[in-house]
């Protein structure tokens, strides 16, 4: 459980990092992104992360491998 939470934090940090990189590039090409569009993007990413976490929590656990020694 702790590993999944850590992965979500890293994913959100990565999205924030990408945004910091893309923002000056978009401004250079005069592509203006409104605050509302950015909020919708952040909401979409957050809901996607939450939905993926819920999907993984309902995933059936894999069965341990059975060794067939042939005894």
Which spans in 1-71 are helix H? 2-28, 35-57
Quick: pLDDT tens for 14-43: 878 887 887 777 776 666 667 777 788 888
Structure tokens at 56: 């993984």
Spans of all domains in the chain: 24-55
Please name the residue that has the structure tokens 């990189």. 21
pLDDT of residue 9: 77
- Give the whole-angstrom CA distance, residue 20 versus residue 16: 6
Please provide the distance, in angstroms rounded to a whole number, between the alpha carbons at the two ends of the chain.
38
Please name the residue that has the structure tokens 């999907």. 55
Residues present in the chain in total: 71
pLDDT of residue 70: 52
């Amino acid at each position: 459980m702790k590993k999944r939470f850590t992965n979500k934090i890293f994913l959100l940090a990565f999205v924030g990092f990408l945004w910091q990189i893309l923002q000056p590039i978009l401004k250079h090409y005069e592509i203006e992104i409104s605050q509302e569009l950015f909020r919708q993007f952040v909401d979409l990413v957050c809901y996607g992360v939450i939905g993926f976490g819920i999907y993984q929590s309902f995933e059936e656990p894999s069965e341990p491998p059975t060794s067939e020694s042939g005894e």
